[in-house]
Chain A
Amino acid sequence: MATITPQIAADETPDPAAAAPRSGLRPYRLTVDVYERIAASGVFGDKSSIFLWKGQLVEKVSDMTKGRPHVNALNDLDRLLGDLVRGRGYFVEQDQPIALGNESEPEPDLKCVRGSNRDYLSRTPTAQDVPLVVEVSDSSLRDDMGEMLRAYASAMIPVYWIVNIPGRRIDVYTQPSGPSASPLYEGHRGYGPGEEVAVVLDGREVGRISVLDVIP
């Protein structure tokens, strides 16, 4: 019987998020293609928290149900970013997949995508299509070592924001290292109440957003 060779990502890093492979068993690593076929078949039903991460199916962990400040921050940022990018060759979407490499397809809270949504009727945006990813965090940790952050840095997402609700700040990460044993963002800066964050897409500033307009 023919076998499928498991896919190995070029920038593979240890994946603690995946269940430890049982002794004597090789995990079957799902690729983005197979995962998208599975998702399209509707077998997940309404389990929208499942996504693909390093070849395994994973669930988004939520420390707590999303409170109103979280939801408001997302919606306000969606609107503010949308206003800035309208007519400038980008669009904004919430909770939609991005294909990172061959084996991961997370769904960041918010992202800017180059082009129009019709460009993606038959394909999922990849890291190359996405100049900005935004996650909203209810945790007070400054999670520089977060697994998602490392994955975005490895995939060369140029700019990554973490909107920290309890910390009342927006952490902006820039200059991704690309694939490496410890991917990271070389540039980091936090913005607090009263400050403005420059929205930089493909190296060009398209406008500014006031922290207080996102986290009152």
Chain B
Amino acid sequence: MATTTTETETVREPEAGAPPADRPRPYRIPIDLYERMAESGVFGDTSPIYLWKGQLVLPMTKGPSHEYALNTLLSLLVRLVPGGWHVRAGSPTRVPDDSEPEPDLTVLRGANRDYRTRTADAADVSLAVEVSDSSLRHDSGEKLEAYAAASIPCYWVVNIPEQRVDVYTRPTGPVGAGGPRYEGRQRFEPGEDVPVVLDGREVGRVAAGDLLV
């Protein structure tokens, strides 16, 4: 009954390879749960949170050159894109692997009203565009890989730091040898025109120099 003043037993050595006794494991948020959370307004209406691989993330802050390029391209695409597609800016797009980014621009198949009651997913996208400044590493890396895995046919990175437009085509889909990627890669510098190709059809051209300051 009396307590001693020293420890009563020696500590056993940790078992080799045993996992830590208590370590919380990240919970991967599924897309459906994320959408319910967003719709319920728990994040507040003004927060640009989105879902990336099951985690809640914030985009990098956007500077004037980003906004300039985005708005220029938006007005150009709206003029070029014919019936059968429509253009959206910053619209949530479901992508496999528990992700729902909001690409700067997407050209979706169909009309705006076709998406009245549902969120677009990668299969609806003919062209995705990211205007990249501080986010270039992610947009040219993990995001590019995810869009290729999702078979988004054409992906542009308006590459502000390197002053060019990177155009990616021919996605391998999820099972490309050596990982999902785009097999077609082209670079357009100021002075060159970037063809706007939607599902194999060229609908017009955009001068790269119009987007880059």
Contact = CB atoms under 8 A, between A and B. Distances in A.
Interface of A: 1-4, 6, 16-19, 21-28, 30, 34, 37-38, 41, 43-44, 50-51, 53, 56-61, 63, 106, 135, 137, 139-143, 145-149, 167, 169, 189-192, 194-196, 198
B9 A27 contact: no
Contact of B25 (A3, A44, A59): A59
A147 B47 CA distance: 30
Contacts of A194: 1
Given A6-B58, A25-B58, A106-B24, 14 more contacts: A1-B48, A2-B46, A4-B47, A21-B57, A22-B53, A27-B56, A28-B47, A30-B56, A37-B42, A43-B40, A56-B55, A59-B24, A59-B26, A146-B23
Q: Which of A4, A28, A148 has the most CB of B within 10 A?
A: A28
Given A59-B24, A146-B21, A190 B46 contact: no
Contact of B22 (A137, A189, A195): A137
A162 B11 CA distance: 14
Contacts of B14: 141
Interface stretch (B136-144, B164-172, B179-187): B136-144
Contacts, number: 159
B24 A143 contact: no
A158 to B, nearest CB: 19
B58 A18 contact: no
B166 to A, nearest CB: 15
Contact of B27 (A58, A145, A190): A58
B42 A38 contact: yes
Contacts of A27: 55-58
11 contacts: A19-B54, A23-B141, A24-B135, A24-B139, A30-B56, A38-B42, A41-B36, A58-B27, A61-B25, A142-B11, A196-B1
Nearest to A192: B8
Interface string B183-194: 000000000000
B27 to A, nearest CB: 4
A44 B40 CA distance: 13
A38 B37 contact: yes
Ranked 7 nearest A-B pairs via Cβ: A24-B138, A58-B24, A143-B21, A139-B21, A28-B56, A192-B8, A2-B46
